[in-house]
Structure formats: C-alpha cells, structure tokens
C-alpha cells in the first residue's frame, strides 16, 4: 500500500476528541498469561533467539515451487516438503501432542485446537510453506546464500524468511506459548498450511484440498474469521501509523494474443510481419487502459476516509477532496498520478511476454504476447475479455484478418492472417469483507491492543492474490495481513527478490499479535448470528 506518496503538503487533522474512537481490546481472562508471556517470556533474549532459530531452520529447507510442477508423489521436487513437515514436528512437539494434526494431499498441513464450546465457529489461520525460486543468476548478489537461514542478531536472511514461513512459525509459536500457559480455548482454532501458493500447481494441490476438507466438515460460512498472509501491515502514512488488513483482493486473468500470417523470405517482406502487427496491437492495448473508478465496493474508499479523518499530516487539498463525496474525481486524479496507486482503482494491464520469430532471414508465421491483468473489484473476467474484442476487432477488419474470440468463435476474412484471443488462469475479484461487521472491530481492537492506541486500523485492497481464493465460501470475514511494523526493515521489504529477510523484532511482533488475537476472539461472542 503506497498511498503515502500523496503527502503533497502537511496540516494537522481534525480535533481527535471529536472523532469516533476505534476499539481497543485486551484479553480480560487469565491475566497470569499476560504477565508470564507478554511481560516476561516475550521480552527475554532467549525467546527472541529461539524464534529466530526456528525461522532460520525453516528457511534452510528449500521448499521451492515452480510454475510447472508435476503431480504430488510423481514429481520428485515435492519430496523436500517431507523434510519440512519433519522439521515442524521436531520444532513444535507440544503442538503436535496437544492439537489434532492431519496431512492432506501429502504436504498440506492441518492443525485443529479443539475448543470446549462447539457452538462457536472456529478461528482459522492460514499460511503456506512453499517459496519462490532464487535464480542462479542472482546468487552473487545475496548478502548471505538464499537458503542459509543466516541469523545476525537482527535479521533472519533467506528465501521464505518473510513470505511466508515467518507467519507459519509465528502462529505455531504463539499456540505453543499458550499451551505452555495451560490455556484452553472455548473457540476452536485451526491452522491450515498450503504448499503451492506461489504457483507450483495451477489447479491447487494444497489450499484447495484444505478448503474442500474444511467445507465438508464445517459447511458454508463455517469459520468465524479467516486470517491469511498479506503485506507487512503496520505502516506509516501521512505521519500516522496505520494497520492495514486487506479485506478484498483483485481478480486475475492472463490474455494471450496470437498473430498468424504467411511466412516467406525476409528479402521480400510485406509492410508488417506478424511481429509488426503484434507491435501495433501492443500499442493499442497500452493506449487504452481500463477506466479508473473509486466506489464503495473498493476498500480503498474506506482507507482514504480513515486517513482523512485520523491522519496527523496530509495535504489540505487531498483531505478536503476525500471528505467531499462530490470531489471523487479529484481523488481519482491524485491516485492516477502514480502507477503504483492507480492499480488500486483500475484493472491493471501488463504486457509481460513477447514471442515470435525463429531465424533472421525467415518471416515469422506466428507471434504472440501474454498480457497480465489484475481485475478491479467492480469488474469481472468477462469485462476484460469484452475489452479486448472491442480493441482488436477494428484492427482485424483494417488488416483483412479473421479474429478468433475467447470462446473459439471466428469472424472476418482470413485474407492476410488470423488474430486469436485466449484466456488463462481466470479468477474473479474476491468478495469484499464488510468493515462495519463487529468482527472487524475484534480484529481492529486486538491490533490496537498489541501495537498501541495511536495505531489507526483501516481496510485496504490487496492487488495480488493469496490462497484465500479457495476459502471464500467458508467465511464472509476474510482478512489478509502480516502483523508487524514494516519500518523495522530499514532497507525496505525484499519479498520475492534478492536479500529477502525478516527482522527478528517483526517476528516477535507477529508472535505477540497471534497470541493475543486468539485470546481476544476466544472471549468474543457475536451479538447477532
């Protein structure tokens, strides 16, 4: 979330005493747990080093998934996940002894901490054990080898240290601490760990199987709250600390545009080769972006209003525009001025792959592009497909090409060639979690109880996708966040790239949050079912 780029000027916010107060929750029961863990265990250097070593050991097991992976139990690249499961069992013996544990599809892990009150819906935590590769071409740029799990007293270095083994280790550590304090939940707590979130299996071997199992056991809307990974969620915007749980995520679609033409010798070329036609198509795509919109369906709207009300520093013009419903076009203009923030209010378009040509003296018969889209919450897969047909049909007519649409239908005359449109990896935008629901208040109150009453909690939109895409039917309250202060990494997050690392202080914050959130939610009851 990069709204902070819009700090065009500074002024003090409205009088905070006139604003509605956000909730702040601390566990009311078992005060001894707070004394022992929060005031003693969590503050000890020994505990800090223990959790750092746990994460370091997890990083040292290279649970890499690739875009093209074979079946589990067939492709040997999955076998390293057996080592990872063994490592978790050895690192958390008390968790494995006290909680129900199951594996699905060999490497998906499911932990169930049974509560004493079966009428209460479970609290579900999600994580994933797989990581993206560390390309050999980048190895000399790493401060420490990518799977070294090096711990220097401040950071744990290596692939997966942040995304997402930090969340997994923090969740299991928090549960372990509660078990050691003899905490017995009334509300069941579930931890579901996928193993192909990073794209190793297009069909979904891990989270898909976990979600199907949980749906079978608990039914639709069977979870009270689902919490999955997200951005490092405590950030400073406009001179104010914000906690940023994502309450929706954009959809996804890859579009392939293929140009087929006659070949021939390059000594007698036509006006355009298939690559030349493709260049014109790329130009047309980039000249016609999707419309930017800011509606109530987009969590960005709520975030901006919270920022305008509570932020200590903000451009007067931006604050005024945000709080004036008739000035929405001005707010859109602000957001459109950066390629980073405009992705929050429109379907994004990125031409990422171009292929064509085999030899320099042969006209290429076929060339294609792959275009990636992250679909705005107000739009759909079909809207993106329709957009392409509107853009490309006039070109096909102009060039005397046939056009083959997404459903295989063909129109026009293939006098000089054919344009073919295909779609891949279709995913609609997620449902949007209602921030007015009292359960959002539970989350906000627990966040402020851990990170301080000066922290403002505001929902945001996640522009990427998580494993929650398989869990939509299990709860209307789905949040995506990694609960630690991004400012603890002074050089900025390095997720998915060279020198990925996790500050041990951030890891400790995550443990504290999960520890307290479990207790807060355990004491809460919904006023209306």
**Distance (Å, rounded) from C-alpha 49 to C-alpha 56?**
10
Of 196, 197, 224, 489, which residue is the catalytic one? 197
Which structure tokens are listed for 221?
């809307």
CA 196 to chain centre: 14
| Per-residue DSSP letter, 454 | T
Please tell me whether the peptide bond between 502 and the residue prior to it is cis, using omega within 30 degrees of 0: no
Which structure tokens are listed for 358?
């085999």
**Distance (Å, rounded) from C-alpha 166 to C-alpha 229?**
10
Contact (Cβ atoms closer than 8 angstroms) between residue 455 and residue 241? yes
b/e code 418-447 from CB counts within 10 Å (16+ = b)? bbbbebeebebbbbbbebeeebbbbbbbbb
Q: Tokens 């207790």 identify what position?
A: 519
**Distance (Å, rounded) from C-alpha 232 to C-alpha 500?**
13
Alpha helices in 400-478 (DSSP H): 438-451
Q: Find out whether 213 is annotated in a ligand binding site.
A: no
Of 130, 162, 260, 509, which residue is the catalytic one? 130
**Distance (Å, rounded) from C-alpha 504 to C-alpha 392?**
51
Tell me if residue 130 is catalytic. yes
Q: Tokens 């949007």 identify what position?
A: 432
Q: Find out whether 515 is annotated in a ligand binding site.
A: no
In 10 A of CB 244, how many CB atoms? Answer: 27
In order, the DSSP letters of 62-116 are --B--SS---TTTSGGGTHHHHHHHHHHHH-HHHHHHSEEEEETTTEEEEEE--S
**Distance (Å, rounded) from C-alpha 408 to C-alpha 421?**
8
Q: Find out whether 5 is annotated in a ligand binding site.
A: no
Q: Find out whether 529 is annotated in a ligand binding site.
A: no
Tell me if residue 529 is catalytic. no
Q: Find out whether 198 is annotated in a ligand binding site.
A: yes
In 10 A of CB 62, how many CB atoms? Answer: 17
CA 182 to chain centre: 34
CA 192 to chain centre: 16
Active site members = 130, 197
Annotated binding site: 128, 163, 198, 228, 496
Annotated binding site for Zn(2+): 128, 163, 198, 228, 496
């Amino acid at each position: 979330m990069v709204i902070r780029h819009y700090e065009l000027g500074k002024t003090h916010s409205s009088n905070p005493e006139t604003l509605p107060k956000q909730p702040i929750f601390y566990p009311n029961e078992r005060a001894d747990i707070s004394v022992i863990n929060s005031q003693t265990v969590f503050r000890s250097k020994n505990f800090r080093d223990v959790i750092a070593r746990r994460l370091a050991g997890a990083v040292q097991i290279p649970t890499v998934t690739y875009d093209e992976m074979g079946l589990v139990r067939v492709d040997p690249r999955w076998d390293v996940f057996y080592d990872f499961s063994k490592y978790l069992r050895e690192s958390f013996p008390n968790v494995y002894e006290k909680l129900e544990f199951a594996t699905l599809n060999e490497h998906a892990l499911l932990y169930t901490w049974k509560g004493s009150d079966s009428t209460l819906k479970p609290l579900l935590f999600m994580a994933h054990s797989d990581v993206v590769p560390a390309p050999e071409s980048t190895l000399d740029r790493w401060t420490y080898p990518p799977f070294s799990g090096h711990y220097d007293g401040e950071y744990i270095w290596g692939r997966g240290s942040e995304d997402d083994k930090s969340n997994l280790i923090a969740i299991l550590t928090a549960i372990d601490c509660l078990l050691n304090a003899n905490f017995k939940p009334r509300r069941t707590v579930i931890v579901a760990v996928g193993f192909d979130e990073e794209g190793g299996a297009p069909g979904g071997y891990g989270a898909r199987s976990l979600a199907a199992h949980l749906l079978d056991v608990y039914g639709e809307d069977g979870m009270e709250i689902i919490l999955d990974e997200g951005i490092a969620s405590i950030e400073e915007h406009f001179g104010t600390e914000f906690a940023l749980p994502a309450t929706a995520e954009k959809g996804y679609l890859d579009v392939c545009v293929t140009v087929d033409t006659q070949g021939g010798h390059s000594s007698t070329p036509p006006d355009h080769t298939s690559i030349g036609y493709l260049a014109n198509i790329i130009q047309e795509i980039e000249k016609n972006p999707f419309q930017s919109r800011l509606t109530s369906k987009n969590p960005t709207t709520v975030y901006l209003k919270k920022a305008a009300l509570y932020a200590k520093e903000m451009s007067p013009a931006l604050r005024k525009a945000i709080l004036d419903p008739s000035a929405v076009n001005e707010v859109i203009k602000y957001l459109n001025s950066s390629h980073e923030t405009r992705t929050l209010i429109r379907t994004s378009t990125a031409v990422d792959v171009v292929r064509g040509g085999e030899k320099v003296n042969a006209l290429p018969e076929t060339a294609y592009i792959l275009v990636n889209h992250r679909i705005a919450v107000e739009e759909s897969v079909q809207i993106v497909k329709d957009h392409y047909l509107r853009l490309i049909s006039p070109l096909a007519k102009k060039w005397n090409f046939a056009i083959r649409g997404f459903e295989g239908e063909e129109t026009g005359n293939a006098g000089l060639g054919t344009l073919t449109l295909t779609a891949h990896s279709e995913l609609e935008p997620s449902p949007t979690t209602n921030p007015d629901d009292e359960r959002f208040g539970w989350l906000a109150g627990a966040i402020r109880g851990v990170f301080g009453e000066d922290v403002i909690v505001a929902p945001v939109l996640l522009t990427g996708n998580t494993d929650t895409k398989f869990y939509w039917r299990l709860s209307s309250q789905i949040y995506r966040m990694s609960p630690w202060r991004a400012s603890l990494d002074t050089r900025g997050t390095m997720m998915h790239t060279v020198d990925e690392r996790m500050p041990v202080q951030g890891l400790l914050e995550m443990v504290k949050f999960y520890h307290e959130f479990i207790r807060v939610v355990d004491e809460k009851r919904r006023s209306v079912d």
